[in-house]
Chains A and B, each alone.
Chain A
Amino acid sequence: MGPEGIAEAPAGESTRDGIFVCGSAVGPQIIPDCVAQASAVAARAQLFLTGHRVEKHEEPVELLDVTGKPRIGILVCHCGINIAGVLDIDDLVQYATALPDVVAAAGSTFACSTTGQDELVELIREHNLNRLVIAACTPRTHEPIFRETCTHIGFNPYLIEMVNIRDQCSWVHTGQPVEAQEKARTLIRMGVARARQLEPLFEGEVPMMHSALVIGGGIAGIQAATDLAVQGFPVTLVEKEGQLGGRLAKPHLKYLYPNMRPATEVLEAKLKLLEESGARVLLNTDVESITGYVGNFEANLTGETEELLQVGAIILAVGADLYDPEEEYGYSKFPNVITSQELETMLVEDDKNVEIAGSRPRSASFVLCVGSRDPEHFPGCSRYCCPTAIKQAILLRRMGMDITIFYRDIRTISTGAEEMYREARGLGVLFIRIPEGDKVQVSGTDHAESVRCFDDLLGRHLEVPTDLVVLSVGMQPKQPETSKFHDILKVSVGLDGFFMELHPELGPVETPVEGVLLAGTAQGPKDIVDTVAQASAAAAKASIFLAHDTVSLNPAVSEVIEEKCRGCGTCAEICEFHAPALVEIEPGTFVARINASLCKGCGTCTSWCPSGAIVSKHFTDRQVHAMIDALFTTETSK
């Protein structure tokens, strides 16, 4: 344990082999970081379990007969007091019972609990149901649970309709219980109407390639490739430059905070593990294009190595760029205004002595948040700059310089950074807060002589003479890589320009494109510790795909009724995921076909198709119309 009584395990590994620590036990952290770190730890644990593969061990279940007239069952969930605190569950059960084709309705304290699931199975069996409506919470998180339970007993999982009476009723209308009740009744009525039209669907399967491609040879790529390769998955790591290491490699980084471990040492250790892992490393090689889908991607590699590489999963670890201050703060004008990266390079050469234009500065000023927390450039926090500036300030202070740090807020989120901050203050580093919306002014004639800033507490301007100005530059999306892979893989990019994860808590390293995962700063600014954790998490998530022999295909996708297709190509033109394509079925006659592996079932093509030739399975026009019709009729009699 560390001095604060918290486990000392920055990357999840403890001092004992085979024992791992994650989450807040390592240090205070927010949920997305906890989830990423937990995945990372799982990846590490897998190293001890090498050779593990997922085998299908499901015993074949006899499918229940779901044909015939709809026999609908409804389960209304209390969700403890989440729903029952606002809505009258008994009333909803009674209301649902009276709806057409409903043969059973019941309440459940927690439908998603083991007991709730047992009740559900009992309900299906007792009443010989062939449709199920669950009035509870959001399908986004809970539909998989209900689907799995139903699959186990042979009830087709696509015959379930979830009605969200929690988020859409009890939560948003807490103060209007009467109206919330009415809305819940309406939503249930609509859900029953749709359930009546549901059709059983069956998942398809395609073979899974067990190999992976890691794009980018920085610390994230190295870590992800190593973690996958040691598990026995064939891994190719592609780096477009001539060396591995990214920002960790010479001459970019001297010491890593908070332990002041030399970057070269860490990198060497990481590279040694990479080499031992057996991952294939391709330098001076670029990824020109990628086609395919999870389990069956094909990447066209160009450069020193040219080949068509087939892989099952892809990890994007393209890194980030650093902000270029250009004209700001006299950066392009004064030789003694440098970026934090340039200072680091100087420290790589000599960490006892810093010289600017032949002379040793006696004082230095750091300006924080350059290019970060700035609506014009990057509105977010770059996370690594506060601790880095403090680390650099301590080094310069130890050389005898007077140090002033101009900051907006000091954010020492990572483990050990707050201690470093305290140390810097103890060493006499001055911290001056830049007021909200204000900027410091760097002035001088042929070189920067002072930094001027308004001090809110003193109520006046301060002018700090200085020999050196260090601009702590933030991170920016790596270009052109980010745009390029956004285009070819259709991985979403957030408003900040970085690749966007599927969900901050539920899928922090996943993307909406199955089999494509994110590692490191490609997803947003982070420091080395978080990058390493996230890369391991990406590897762990990739191995979940790679450990399977087949990929199951979501059956709730779009399908072309070829007889109705006019071959106009609109669907192929508008699909973000390149799922539809025109095929010549007889000379001069083209029809669209949709690759079910690429289709996300979003329904865009369905709504654009002029002739109505595309059906969104599980969201058919018939099902949606039934819901709309039910919305506008209030009759409940059978």
Chain B
Amino acid sequence: MKTTSTPEIAEIADKARAWACYDCGKCTATCPIARVGGALSPRRQVLAANLGHREDIITNNALFACLTCGLCSSRCPAGVVYCELVLNLRQLAFHDGVEPECPHGGALQSMMRMMAKGKTKQDRLSWLTKDLKVQHKKGDVFYWTGCTMYYDAFFPDFNITTLDATRAAIRVLNRLGVTPVVSPDERCCGHDLLWNGDRANFELLARHNVKLVESSGAKTLVISCAECLRTWNIDYQPFFETSPPKIMHITEFMQENLDNLKFKANKEHTVTYQDPCRLGRHLGIFDPPRAILEALPDITLAEMPRSGKNSICCAGGTWSNCDRYAKHIQVDRLREAKSTGAEFLVTSCPKCQIHFACAMKDPNLHEEIEIPMRDIATLVADALAD
């Protein structure tokens, strides 16, 4: 076992601009976890990082309590990149044998690590229906499915089908004349391992996936999952050997091709939109989903009081942080969504749906927080003119 030294912490603190902190405390005042009583103070973490004491930052629970939602950074007047700080400190912690307690007995992490090792044969594409046109090896557009097929198998009692969004995305691509590459050899993007500090397994996945997309010859990579998108757009960049394809979120791709999509009149619906933190604050994609909703006939968007840059995270991003405070955040957020009068809560990340669905299983709250959820791509696919 290697023990983290102070110089390593100092380097990380430096990269994340922790030195710039002037102790105003906006971050802690903003932090969703701190607001519901959780023991997390970003300000304290930043100060501890500057001081460089290992015990203060590596082995304290606050390191893994952070949602990495980025709300604090968006408010920081000194430009401290708090998520970056957490990401790198977690890697140090992992190196020292400190890991978060993973919910579901760590089963999801085990799945990711099995994919990283790559010795297990996946049955990844049996959900493809005959009406969906795809190819498996080469093509101009690669559609990245993410792990929705695993989520649906893992959470059968949540009454949600995250694969619906995956199928809907392909249906829309097909309508635009695109037959995307959907690969049976895709593996987990490694986002959650990376954010829990397991860099070694993340790198195995990154290398495999980058090679897979490169070998397809695709010029464009379209992704639905907000977390996969962040990973490809930022964390995979050093792994490309050739120039990377154009990486787009499904809503960006749809927005670019809006003129070629014909919609039929639909039943009128009022919806509200949950910005996934990876898509919004991490990548700045706030407008394309709203443009799509705007373009759909009979759909009215009723924004939540906290939306866009001020949006509140679903509080479960990396399959850690699952606790009383996360639940509190989810319940508050669902109440907020209901307060808009919307019939649907629309999002564009499968994990938002899973974590809200879990919160809705509360035995005491029921209709106070229950609201049907839709992925944005399914709204588009359903509205396509025949």
Our verdict on whether A and B bind, yes or no, reads yes
Closest 7 A-B residue pairs measured CB to CB?
A611-B322, A569-B363, A566-B327, A564-B323, A611-B103, A612-B103, A612-B101
Which residue, B323, B358, B364, has most C-beta atoms of chain A within 10 A?
B323
Q: Contact between B328 and A568 (Cβ–Cβ < 8 Å)?
A: no
Q: How would residues 599 to 633 of chain A score, 1 for a CB under 8 Å from any chain B CB and 0 otherwise? A: 00000000100111100000001000000000000
Contact partners of B156 in chain A: CB under 8 A: none
Task: Tell me if A94 is interfacial: C-beta within 8 Å of chain B.
Answer: no
Q: How many A-B residue pairs have CB under 8 A?
A: 63
What is the interface of chain A mostly: helix, strand, loop, or mixed? loop
Q: Contact between B324 and A568 (Cβ–Cβ < 8 Å)?
A: no
* Distance between B343 CB and nearest chain A CB, rounded to angstroms: 24
Closest to A585 in B: B324
Q: Given A588-B331, A611-B323 in contact, is the A564-B101 Cβ separation under 8 Å?
A: yes
Q: Given A610-B358, A612-B101, A612-B102 in contact, is the A564-B324 Cβ separation under 8 Å?
A: yes
* Distance between B69 CB and nearest chain A CB, rounded to angstroms: 18
Contact partners of A610 in chain B: CB under 8 A: 103-104, 322, 358
- Listed by A's residue number, 19 A-B pairs whose Cβ atoms lie within 8 Å are A562-B324, A563-B325, A564-B322, A566-B323, A566-B326, A566-B359, A569-B362, A573-B363, A588-B365, A589-B327, A590-B362, A590-B363, A610-B104, A611-B326, A612-B101, A612-B104, A612-B105, A613-B323, A621-B101
Q: Given A610-B104, A612-B102 in contact, is the A582-B363 Cβ separation under 8 Å?
A: yes
Contact partners of A565 in chain B: CB under 8 A: 323-324
Q: Contact between A589 and B328 (Cβ–Cβ < 8 Å)?
A: yes
Q: Contact between B101 and A567 (Cβ–Cβ < 8 Å)?
A: no
A562 to B328, CA, bound (A): 13
Contact partners of B105 in chain A: CB under 8 A: 607, 612, 621
Q: Contact between A563 and B103 (Cβ–Cβ < 8 Å)?
A: no
- State which of A566, A588, A621 has its C-beta within 8 Å of the C-beta of B322: A566
Q: How would residues 351 to 371 of chain B score, 1 for a CB under 8 Å from any chain A CB and 0 otherwise? A: 000000011011111000000
Task: Tell me if A591 is interfacial: C-beta within 8 Å of chain B.
Answer: yes
* Distance between B288 CB and nearest chain A CB, rounded to angstroms: 33
- State which of B38, B102, B363 has its C-beta within 8 Å of the C-beta of A568: B363
Closest to B335 in A: A588
A582 to B104, CA, bound (A): 20
A611 to B105, CA, bound (A): 8
A589 to B332, CA, bound (A): 11
Contact partners of B103 in chain A: CB under 8 A: 610-612
Contact partners of B364 in chain A: CB under 8 A: 567, 569, 582, 590
* Distance between A330 CB and nearest chain B CB, rounded to angstroms: 53
A588 to B329, CA, bound (A): 12
Contact partners of B101 in chain A: CB under 8 A: 564, 612, 621
Q: Contact between B104 and A591 (Cβ–Cβ < 8 Å)?
A: no
- State which of A563, A566, A569, A572 has its C-beta within 8 Å of the C-beta of B358: A566
Q: How would residues 548 to 572 of chain A score, 1 for a CB under 8 Å from any chain B CB and 0 otherwise? A: 0000000000000011111111001
A354 to B189, CA, bound (A): 87
A75 to B39, CA, bound (A): 45
A613 to B38, CA, bound (A): 15
Interface members, chain A 47-76 (any B CB < 8 Å): none
Interface members, chain B 5-43 (any A CB < 8 Å): 38-39
Q: Given A568-B363, A612-B105 in contact, is the A563-B324 Cβ separation under 8 Å?
A: yes
Q: Contact between B322 and A612 (Cβ–Cβ < 8 Å)?
A: yes
What is the interface of chain B mostly: helix, strand, loop, or mixed? loop
Q: B residues near A, CB below 8 A?
A: 38-39, 101-105, 322-328, 331, 358-359, 361-365
Known: A566-B358, A589-B324, A612-B101. 14 other contacts (CB 8 A): A562-B324, A563-B38, A563-B323, A563-B325, A565-B323, A566-B323, A568-B361, A568-B363, A569-B364, A572-B363, A590-B363, A590-B364, A612-B102, A613-B324
Which residue, A562, A567, A590, has most C-beta atoms of chain B within 10 A?
A567
Q: How large is the interface on A (under 10, 10 to 19, 20 to 34, 35 or more residues)?
A: 20 to 34
A564 to B328, CA, bound (A): 11
Q: A residues near B, CB below 8 A?
A: 562-569, 572-573, 582, 588-591, 607, 610-613, 621
A611 to B324, CA, bound (A): 9
Contact partners of B104 in chain A: CB under 8 A: 610, 612
Contact partners of A573 in chain B: CB under 8 A: 363
Contact partners of A567 in chain B: CB under 8 A: 324, 327, 362, 364
Contact partners of A568 in chain B: CB under 8 A: 327, 358, 361-363
* Distance between B10 CB and nearest chain A CB, rounded to angstroms: 31
Contact partners of A591 in chain B: CB under 8 A: 324
* Distance between B352 CB and nearest chain A CB, rounded to angstroms: 16
Contact partners of B326 in chain A: CB under 8 A: 566, 611
Closest to B102 in A: A612
A611 to B65, CA, bound (A): 13
Closest to B38 in A: A563
A588 to B368, CA, bound (A): 11
* Distance between A325 CB and nearest chain B CB, rounded to angstroms: 46
* Distance between B196 CB and nearest chain A CB, rounded to angstroms: 14
A591 to B324, CA, bound (A): 8
A589 to B327, CA, bound (A): 9
* Distance between A284 CB and nearest chain B CB, rounded to angstroms: 39
* Distance between A344 CB and nearest chain B CB, rounded to angstroms: 53
* Distance between B61 CB and nearest chain A CB, rounded to angstroms: 9
Closest to B61 in A: A563
Which residue, B102, B331, B363, has most C-beta atoms of chain A within 10 A?
B363
* Distance between A569 CB and nearest chain B CB, rounded to angstroms: 4
Contact partners of A621 in chain B: CB under 8 A: 101, 105
Contact partners of B325 in chain A: CB under 8 A: 563
* Distance between A630 CB and nearest chain B CB, rounded to angstroms: 16
Contact partners of A612 in chain B: CB under 8 A: 101-105, 322
* Distance between A580 CB and nearest chain B CB, rounded to angstroms: 12
A621 to B102, CA, bound (A): 11
A569 to B104, CA, bound (A): 15
Contact partners of A582 in chain B: CB under 8 A: 363-364
Closest to A565 in B: B324
A568 to B325, CA, bound (A): 13
Which residue, B38, B39, B101, B365, has most C-beta atoms of chain A within 10 A?
B101
Closest to B363 in A: A569
Contact partners of A613 in chain B: CB under 8 A: 323-324
Contact partners of B323 in chain A: CB under 8 A: 563-566, 611, 613
Q: Contact between A566 and B324 (Cβ–Cβ < 8 Å)?
A: yes
* Distance between B31 CB and nearest chain A CB, rounded to angstroms: 16
A564 to B38, CA, bound (A): 10
Contact partners of B358 in chain A: CB under 8 A: 566, 568, 610
A568 to B363, CA, bound (A): 6
A564 to B324, CA, bound (A): 5
Closest to B65 in A: A563
* Distance between A182 CB and nearest chain B CB, rounded to angstroms: 25
A567 to B105, CA, bound (A): 17
A611 to B322, CA, bound (A): 5
Closest to B155 in A: A610
A156 to B169, CA, bound (A): 60
Contact partners of B328 in chain A: CB under 8 A: 589
A613 to B101, CA, bound (A): 9
Closest to A615 in B: B101
* Distance between A258 CB and nearest chain B CB, rounded to angstroms: 59
Closest to A607 in B: B105
Closest to B321 in A: A611
Contact partners of A607 in chain B: CB under 8 A: 105
Contact partners of A569 in chain B: CB under 8 A: 362-364
A589 to B363, CA, bound (A): 11
A320 to B105, CA, bound (A): 45
A611 to B103, CA, bound (A): 4
A612 to B326, CA, bound (A): 13
* Distance between A117 CB and nearest chain B CB, rounded to angstroms: 38
Closest to A572 in B: B363
Closest to B332 in A: A588
A564 to B358, CA, bound (A): 14
A567 to B365, CA, bound (A): 11
